[in-house]
Amino acid sequence: MRDETKCLHAGYTPKNAEPRVVPIVQSTTYRYDSAEDIGAVFDDPSKSLIYSRFENPTVMAVEDKIAALEGGIGAMCTSSGQMASLLSILNLCSAGDNFISVSTIYGGTVNLFAATLKKLGIECVFVDANADEETLDRVFTKNTKAVFGESLANPALAVLDIEKFASLAHRHHVPLIVDNTFPTPVLCKPIEYGADVVIHSTSKYLDGHALQVGGVIVDSGRFDWHGGSFPGLTEPDPTYHGIVYTETYGKMAYILKARMQLMRDFGAYPSAHSAFLLNLGLETLPLRMERYCENALKVAQYFLKSPKIESVRYPGLPDDPDYALAQKYLKGASGVVTVVVKGGRKGAITFMDALKLASNQVHVADIRSCVQHPASSTHRQLTDEQLAAAGVHPGTVRFSVGLEHVDDILADIEQAMA
Ligand SMILES: *Cc1c(COP(=O)(O)O)cnc(C)c1O
């Protein structure tokens, strides 16, 4: 099936006389005939449902759909994108371990990696995405467990050279985790270029309507855990009767460990109702992404000609520094355009406050146009050096182009500029 078809049909196939639309199974628990039946499920929770803290049929239908779209072997939804980032790392790292991340990533992820994980004894080493291979090779230690990057960085809009980072990671026997939130699997499939794990904030384009906060982790099923040092996956788990994930679950080891161990313990699972809403958004994803790309290119071209704009980043523009990478990895450059407004912080805020159609909100990738000033919101906690490393300037405005008629979006920008 192509993406358009998967978005409508993957993950749920009703049998005779069953509901056409994936049902909302709003139940914490599942009934069994006997204590013995329940005991058997505890021996191997992957066989049947026990409790909606870590598994639910509505959520699982969406998980299967997203796994199919990404070309993965399995997926697990989480209560936020932040939780997907956190669990993707905790599934590999313990106190004393470290991992490597490209520095051009979402500000919330920088906080999580640089501050909160550090308190848990897990160190994140940030690297420049453009560093040469020798420099990058030197960053690895024997306790390095993963490499992390964003396929299309929020808000810097830098495009990750996925093959370069996949081969770097694989040379050191660790997986590459790619946050694919901005392109979505419709515009980029990181697994095809060597990524081992893909994560998303489903709060953005996947849902698209700003209805639910959520995340997802997708496992490619391709990484050889025995080739590296991952005792959590290759040695017995005492909290599951000594199950060895790689032995019992083979290619599904990573994603089932995330569910059976981390989700069981942390319980950051979405509700069935949230998953239902996410599914509704997913059904029209390919259509929406096509129009986002079309509208955003026109907005980027408009900004490029404006004398009040210092610089524009949109990897769909031929002059963009990452145009070549975008041509290679992305089917379209998505719907977000980043501009640096003349006049720094004041210029940016004056422009944003004058917009009438595009709203000021802490969100991106909405169906409605919206803007945000990273330096005073999502990236407020970062130091000036961290800001610069994340590709953010005090005058940076992130313009998330919506699905209104593009002429109305442009007219709004024009009056605000004036
Ligand atoms: C928003 C975002 C996140 C965090 O997701 P939430 O759903 O807000 O927790 C992570 N990565 C990227 C690229 C994002 O845009």
Instruction: CATH number of the domain at 173, please.
Output: 3.40.640.10
Whole-number pLDDT of residue 32: 94
One DSSP character per residue, 48-94 reads S--BTTT--HHHHHHHHHHHHHHT-SEEEEESSHHHHHHHHHHTT--
The CATH number given to whatever domain includes residue 359 is 3.90.1150.10
Same domain, 246 and 350: no
Distance 179 CA to ligand 1 centre (A): 9
| Domain termination site, one of 280, 314, 343 | 280
CB 303 within 8 A of CB 309: yes
Pocket of ligand 1 contains residue 23 by CB under 6 Å: no
- DSSP letter for 310, please: E
Same domain, 124 and 168: yes
Distance 244 CA to ligand 1 centre (A): 32
Pocket of ligand 1 contains residue 201 by CB under 6 Å: yes
Rounded to whole angstroms, the Cα distance separating 169 from 166 reads 5
* CB proximity list for 358: less than 8 A, separation 6 or greater: 368, 369, 370, 371, 399, 402, 409, 412, 413
Same domain, 305 and 219: no
What's the Cα-to-Cα distance from 98 to each of 32, 47, 149, 176, 418, rounded to whole Å?
Answer: 43, 33, 15, 14, 49
Looking up tokens 């308190």 gives 119
Whole-number pLDDT of residue 204: 98
Ligand 1 pocket test target in 204, 278, 338 with most atoms within 8 Å of CB = 204
Helical pair 406-417 and 344-354, crossing angle rounded to 10 deg = 130
Rounded to whole angstroms, the Cα distance separating 191 from 251 reads 14
Same domain, 272 and 318: no
Same domain, 111 and 244: yes
Pocket of ligand 1 contains residue 203 by CB under 6 Å: yes
- Full pLDDT tens readout for the chain, 418 residues: 999 999 999 999 999 999 999 999 999 999 999 999 988 888 777 778 999 999 999 999 999 999 999 999 999 999 999 999 999 999 999 999 999 999 999 989 999 999 999 999 999 999 999 999 999 999 999 999 999 999 999 988 999 999 999 999 999 999 999 999 999 999 999 999 999 999 999 999 999 999 999 999 999 999 999 999 999 999 999 998 899 999 999 999 999 999 999 999 999 999 999 999 999 999 999 999 999 999 999 999 999 999 999 999 999 999 999 999 999 999 999 999 999 999 988 999 999 999 999 999 888 999 999 999 988 887 787 777 887 877 788 899 999 999 999 999 999 999 999 9
Rounded to whole angstroms, the Cα distance separating 170 from 191 reads 13
One DSSP character per residue, 8-42 reads HHTT----TT--SSPP----SB---S-HHHHHHHH
Distance 228 CA to ligand 1 centre (A): 29
Pocket of ligand 1 contains residue 78 by CB under 6 Å: no
* CB proximity list for 371: less than 8 A, separation 6 or greater: 352, 355, 358, 359, 360, 397, 398, 399, 400
| Domain termination site, one of 228, 246, 280 | 280
Question: Which residue's CA is minimally distant from atom 4 of ligand 1?
Answer: 81
Pocket of ligand 1 contains residue 215 by CB under 6 Å: yes
Same domain, 275 and 245: yes
Q: What share of the chain is helix, strand, coil (3-state, %, to 5)?
A: 45, 15, 40
Question: Which residue's CA is minimally distant from atom 2 of ligand 1?
Answer: 201
Pocket of ligand 1 contains residue 151 by CB under 6 Å: no
Same domain, 260 and 402: no
Question: Which residue's CA is minimally distant from atom 8 of ligand 1?
Answer: 81
Same domain, 81 and 128: yes
Question: Which residue's CA is minimally distant from atom 1 of ligand 1?
Answer: 201
Distance 48 CA to ligand 1 centre (A): 31
State which residues form the domain around 13. Answer: 3-280
- Give the CA diameter of the chain: 73
Question: Which residue's CA is minimally distant from atom 7 of ligand 1?
Answer: 81
Ligand 1 pocket test target in 78, 181, 398 with most atoms within 8 Å of CB = 181
Same domain, 332 and 263: no
Same domain, 392 and 324: yes
Same domain, 272 and 290: no
| Domain termination site, one of 226, 252, 280 | 280
Pocket of ligand 1 contains residue 213 by CB under 6 Å: yes
Angle (nearest 5°) at CA 150 between 144 and 152: 160
Same domain, 219 and 120: yes
Q: How many domains does the chain have?
A: 2
